[in-house]
Structure 1
Amino acid sequence: MQVTDVEKVPSLFSRTNPFQAKVLKNMNLNGEGSTKETRHIELSLEGSGLSYVPGDCLGVVPDNDPELVASILEVMKWDPETAVVINKQNETLPLKEALLKHFELTLLSKKIVQQAAEFSDNEALKQLVADTEQLKAYTDGRDVLDLLSEFGPWKASAHEIVALLRKMPPRLYSIASSFAANPGEVHLTIGAVRYMAHGRERKGVCSVMCAERLNEGDTVPVFVQLNKHFNLPESSEQDIIMVGPGTGIAPFRSFIQERAVSKAAGKAWLFFGDQRSATDYLYQEELEQYQQAGALTKIDVAFSRDTAQKVYVQNKMQENSQELFAWLERGAYFYVCGDKQNMAKDVHNTLIDIIEKEGKLSREEAEAYLNGLQEQGRYQRDVY
């Protein structure tokens, strides 16, 4: 078979059959003294047949935290070697391995609590399940260990409890590299999630696995997920404006690398923000090199903890409102990636403010203008 034929063959690897990608590099992007930990991870796709375009996502299938699994086994006094069924095909695995690799343990659904209540005589649990509002509040921020330790003893076998759990879902991350710039590799930018809730430290399943237990030379199961709604313009002559604070920088690193390789004629403007410039300016050196080389026309940064008055990416947009609107009028594409809860809403509203002010439009006209951009595919969001 010739090489040209190989390239036409679709990859055998997918969501249902992930590829074991070797870890080439895993480093912390934040400086000493930062309150954050953001991992830059480089994985090999050699031999997978997988490829991607800027804007696509990588699915990662994580393992659970071994400490969490050990705590569940201890609380339930279960034998780790007990065989349990893990799927509809009646495949079995030792309990410990099943809990590590196959089941979601950190999210509690109302359904799991309701079904578990049938295996307990605990009055408090019966009352909880009877009250929809209380049940909803209970499941928020709690996990399977909370449920099992708070409402025992249980009249159920390990097999019956495991049967209530849902399958471990993969985690999707915006790809932080261009395939053209890094053939045979894929890069990720992942913020480690750790927080206290209900008296215990909680850890993001995949992000903390990547931060604490994924070493160079290890392999991790991955697949490529296309993202049809977040792509570079078809013409490289179009200008692009990218707003990506924190790990929202990921797809824009991919965009910038791609445009550098293709020597795109269009201009590129990046808004990046985080807490402190000294410790949290992700990819600073690289971005500044791209700016010197001309692949990035303009960088505006906002570091919220560097000043008494907190400054965010939307404040930087406001400061540059005249120029930003001029770029839009010339046909620029506008992209946002990152936090859906606050940042994306603030950026959206700021964009309407800018269009209203600089375009001398009414609020309704400014909103219609932005809707028009969205319909043309010139306003794209990758928010989570």
Structure 2
Amino acid sequence: MAHDVVERVEQFGPKLAELAAGNEKLGRLSDETVGLLRTAGVLRLLQPTKFGGYAAHPRDFAEAVMAVARHDGAAGWVCGVVGVHPWEAAQMDPRVAQEVWGENPETWIASPYMPNGIAEPVDGGYVLSGRWPFSSGTDHADWVFLGALVGDGKGRPVSPPKVLHVILPRSSYEIIEDSWDVIGLCGTGSKDVVVDGAFIPSYRTVDQDEVSGGEAAVSNGVGEALYRLPFTSMFPLGITSAVIGICEGALALHLEQQRERVAVTGVQVRDDPYVLYAAGEAAAEIAASRVQLIDGISRVHDRVAAGETVTIEERSDIRRNQVRCAWRAVSALDEIFARSGGNVIRRGNPLQRYWRDAHVGLAHMIHVPGVAYHANSLAQMGVDLPPQLRVML
């Protein structure tokens, strides 16, 4: 059962927390952390049952990612990013799933989807070249999803642009080892990957627009509601879940540290109404973020399962709320971090790592509020959205 995954995560929680500082120094997840995640089954939650997965409700996936991130933000982030890739692979030509999981259901797929490469059409497929930053968890993955612009045969993208998602085996790309030197989420190992003229057969590609609207699953005979959800609802889900989980972990640690702390005034913090007010308000804000995020993905899942169409306005509402969930949770974390005392800035205090990880997570492009809020306001007015505002809807 999918809920057993969360129970196993909680069982492993103290060990995940113990390993977190080492992952940060290592610049990627340790083999021991990855072993715990594999045993828990977090990254198989959205994987098809035929290939050893759970094909779970996306709500269960979000809750599992949050559970991991409460103990180690970097591990939660990798679960949220890498964990959504089985969902997309399941929508593609059936040969893809067989190649990826046929011999090993524990195989991980990395990304990113940013269209940083040019895919030149050739007989039977494409030839791809480019460089992509931010490939989270890539050291432990044997395949990678990449975004690519279809080329015009001369090294330039066609006009208007056409974006593909392509999937490549580990032998077709290079990981750049010294490309991840950052201030937060250090343990994610989100290094650059480079592709230099790799051939990609057509069946390992999918049009981004078809994934965005759920058409890819239908055209490949995949009927489950899970695999017909909009990409722009599912992909942000894992990332925002990780940020919320990080904030939940920070709140728990803050309260633990404040229980016996005595302020410079000689007053025990647990007797300071101002600090406790801030902690209570932060707890409410972080809890609201969790509820709203899960409510959004549950609503869209129910619509798709009922055979109904998810409108642009509804997709825009989900994106607006998803962005706000992340900002609300991190803003709440800021309030308690500022009241945690001087020792919070010491590198040996895990709370400062939670704070850095949360802010780096907030910097991901899916958390940029401007376009999401702009598009949502127009959609609520019934105004047709221009192409540039539909990109992440």
For normalisation by structure 2, the TM-score amounts to 0.31
Q: Which structure shows the bigger proportion of residues in helix conformation?
A: 2
Q: Which structure shows the bigger proportion of residues in strand conformation?
A: 1
Higher relative contact order (CA 8 A, sep 6+): 1
For normalisation by structure 1, the TM-score amounts to 0.31
Structure exhibiting the larger radius of gyration computed from Cα positions = 1
